[in-house]
Amino acid sequence: MVAQKISGAEVSRAIEDDLVAQVSSLRQQHPSFSPRLAIVQVGGREDSNVYIRMKLRAAERIGIQAEHVKLPRDITENELLARLTELNESPAVHGIIVQMPLDSQFDIDGHKVTDAVSPHKDVDGLNTINEGRVATGDMGGFIPCTPAGCVELIKRTGVPIAGKNVVVLGRSKIVGTPVSELLKWEHATVTVCHSKTRNLSEITKTADILVVAIGRPEMVRGSWIKPGAVVIDCGINPIPDATKKTGHRLVGDVAYSEAIEVASHVTPVPNGVGPMTVAMLMKNTVLSARRQLERLLAPKWPLTPLRLVPVKPPPRYLLKIFCLNTYCVVTLCTWF
């Protein structure tokens, strides 16, 4: 059997085309409105620069205004949090992402930073509130981009997810954990493996759908895969390659040439999960912009007069007198 390649590049192009149409229709209805994404970067890691360039280009293709908020390595945690508060409060910004890992000269708490992004603008889906929603099956917040991309790719194979045995290798906050939760809510039976899991290859062989996100170049061999399985490889690992101008090439966490001999569908690296992550970020940004526009346009007339009335709680002594009186009246009524 030779597996079908699941082209993330093709699927992400289709998603982008749909977003282009959505943004242009929004613009026709509201000419002064544009979805806007803020990409916050601390420092200047070269890999982050590459990812940010990809996001900026995708935003431009779709018609999303993307702002690259570049902050210095010596920014303090408090200054970074204050900058995020400004972006949270700006009505012109609809989506905010903080490019990880932070390239800071201080020990900034990444968790505190992702939680400082308003859950209403958290288009990366990494705020604890949005993570909790996904964990409990509430998809009304924002779904993290790489996991959403993985699920979309599985769905595009046409292989039903419900009832299948899924094995996820990796339990990170950004990929392994949320993808396992999403697939659980797609009604699969999910096993999550990590660095302490024993007999890994025996477990992977039980998977009808195998999702790998471990950051170990080509660790998953063909012999680890169940014949006919769907294999989603999230890994992006540079390995030395003297034939390339850059001196390296990218490989996944799965040995692709072996996997295509066994699986029914496999994602390649590059052009598999990678472009889907960017497409899902753009999808979340347009979704966030639409939600904020809807909130802005929602009729407020019945609430406005109420909002204008200054409501002050009564003093405690009045409340006590009221409670005492009510008690007396109720007691007297019961007697007579």
> Which residues lie near ligand NAP (CB under 6 A)?
146, 169-172, 174-176, 193-197, 200, 213-216, 234-237, 273-274, 277
C-beta of 81 vs 200, nearer to ligand NAP:
200
Catalytic residue, candidates 22, 41, 99, 292: 99
Residue nearest to ligand NAP (CB): 172
Minimum distance between the CB of residue 221 and ligand NAP, rounded to whole angstroms?
13
CB of 169 to ligand NAP, least distance (A): 6
Counting Cβ atoms within 10 Å, is residue 227 exposed (0-12), middle (13-18) or buried (19+)?
Answer: exposed
Residue 116 or 175 having the CB closest to ligand NAP: 175
Alpha carbon distance 267, 7 (integer Å): 6
Q: Measured from the CB of residue 247, what is the shortest distance to ligand NAP in angstroms?
A: 19
Task: Decide if 55 is catalytic.
Answer: yes
To ligand NAP, the closest distance from the beta carbon of 233 in angstroms equals 9
Tell me whether residue 3 or residue 175 sits nearer to ligand NAP (CB atom): 175
- Cβ atoms 229, 262 nearer than 8 A: yes
Task: Give least dist CB 295 to ligand NAP, A.
Answer: 30
Q: Answer yes or no: 99 catalytic.
A: yes
Q: Name which of 68 and 216 has its Cβ closer to ligand NAP.
A: 216
- Closer to ligand NAP at the Cβ: 26 or 280? 280
| Catalytic residue selected from 103, 115, 122, 124 | 124
Residue 307, C-beta contacts closer than 8 angstroms, at least 6 positions apart: none
Question: Which position among 22, 41, 55, 121 bears the catalytic label?
Answer: 55
Q: Show the 3-state SS of the chain.
A: CCCEECCHHHHHHHHHHHHHHHHHHHHHHCCCCCCEEEEEEECCCHHHHHHHHHHHHHHHHHCCEEEEEEECCCCCHHHHHHHHHHHHHCCCCCEEEECCCCCCCCCCCHHHHHHHCCCCCCCCCCCHHHHHHHHCCCCCCCCCHHHHHHHHHHHHHCCCCCCCEEEEECCCCCCHHHHHHHHHHCCCEEEEECCCCCCHHHHHCCCCEEEECCCCCCCECHHHCCCCCEEEECCCEEEECCCCCCCEEEECCECHHHHCCCCCEECCCCCCHHHHHHHHHHHHHHHHHHHHHHHHHCCCCCCHHHHHCCCCCCCHHHHHHHHHHHHHHHHHHHHC
Residue 128 Cβ vs ligand NAP, minimum distance, rounded to whole Å: 17
Shortest reach from residue 292's CB to ligand NAP, in Å: 26
CA dist., res. 18 & res. 22, Å (int): 6
In the complex with ligand NAP, which residue's Cβ is closer, 26 or 66?
66
Cβ(180)–Cβ(158) below 8 Å: no
Instruction: Please say which residue, 95 or 235, places its beta carbon nearer to ligand NAP.
Output: 235
Residues designated catalytic: 55, 99, 124
